[in-house]
Structure 1
């Protein structure tokens, strides 16, 4: 049986002290989950004397979680509408219906449907004295069209340092997820963190978004292919 969020929040300091990896799983985003994630990030960064990253890392974690939850709920919506998300004609039809019908109330309902079907988003916080990694996994794959669009947004975002400037230049062809990707990369750049430490990895059965935050010069990125201290 899941513990109440109040009990979980009260245990955050001890949890952070005793672990180097914390995993949170959910099928929907709500205020309680937001507060719990903020509490975890705050405690981890405070314990490593890197409080200045709290706002940035919370914004990034929230953005990636919401994107993952929306992607999962969209897949369930397609299933319920009898549409094949991998079929181009069905995809175009389904996206229009999804955009037209979906609301906050439906998001709550589809959160429950995802939970019932074992569809979820998992946040993993992995940290040590040299750095921290946040990994957000949703256990549904991304379709090729959306993956190509995400890669294009990541590439384009490298040339911007201001989210408002990115939005104005791309307002005609930037959906919510694309704007979120740009936001993450610009936030990292503005904190002096290499935006290449933000990655989206696709698998046949899941999609993984990963952000690494170095605390010291000794941090070795997982991206390097070497065995990092966090691995």
Structure 2
């Protein structure tokens, strides 16, 4: 049985003291989850002496969590409407219907539907004295068209240092998730963190968004190990 967020929040000091890996699952974004994530990140970063990253990492984690939850809820919406999200015609119709019909009230309702169907995001925090990794996994795949758009936004964001500038240059073709990706890339660049340490990894059954923040020069990126495995 899932624990209430108040109970989880009360356990944060003990968790951070005893572990270097902490995770939580959720099917909806609400104030309780936001408070838990902020409290957890604050405790971890204070313990690591890296308070300067609190605001940035909270913003990034919240953005990735919202994107993952929305992607899951969108899939459930398509199922409820009898539409195939992988079919081009169904996708175009479904996106229009989703944009028209979906609301904050429905987000809570669809959060419960996702929970009932076993659809969720899995937040993981791994940390040590040399760095921290935040990983958000949603257990649904991203369709090819959406992945292509995400990759384009990530590539385009590399040329910007200001989110307002990015928005003005792309206001005609930037939806919420695209703007969020640009925000993450720009936040990392402005904090002197290599934006290549932000990755979106797609699998047939899930999507992973990962951000790594080095604290020291000794930090070894997970990406280095993944690239080594490919060689």
Same fold per TM (> 0.5)? yes
Displacement of 1:10 in angstroms is: 1.5
Superposition map of 1:83-162 within 5 A: 83-162=83-162
3-state SS of paired residue (1:225): helix
Q: In the aligned structure 1, how far is the partner of 2:44 from the partner of 2:216?
A: 15
Change in CA separation of 1:160 and 1:31 when aligned onto 2, cut-off 3 Å: same
**CA deviation profile, 1:82-120 (whole Å, cap 9, x unmatched):** 000000000000000000000001101100000000000
In the alignment, does 2:191 pair up with 1:191?
yes
3-state SS of paired residue (2:223): helix
Change in CA separation of 1:226 and 1:75 when aligned onto 2, cut-off 3 Å: closer
Q: In the aligned structure 1, how far is the partner of 2:2 from the partner of 2:84?
A: 34
Q: For structure 2, list consecutive stretches of 5 or more residues without a partner in the other structure.
A: none
Displacement of 1:2 in angstroms is: 2.6
RMSD between aligned alpha carbons? 1.2
Q: In the aligned structure 2, how far is the partner of 1:62 from the partner of 1:75?
A: 20
Q: Which residue of 2 aligns with 1:206?
A: 206
Q: Which residue of 2 aligns with 1:217?
A: 217
Q: Which residue of 2 aligns with 1:33?
A: 33
Q: For structure 1, list consecutive stretches of 5 or more residues without a partner in the other structure.
A: none
- TM-score, structure 1 length as denominator? 0.97
**CA deviation profile, 1:4-47 (whole Å, cap 9, x unmatched):** 22222111011001011001100000000000010110000000
- TM-score, structure 2 length as denominator? 0.97
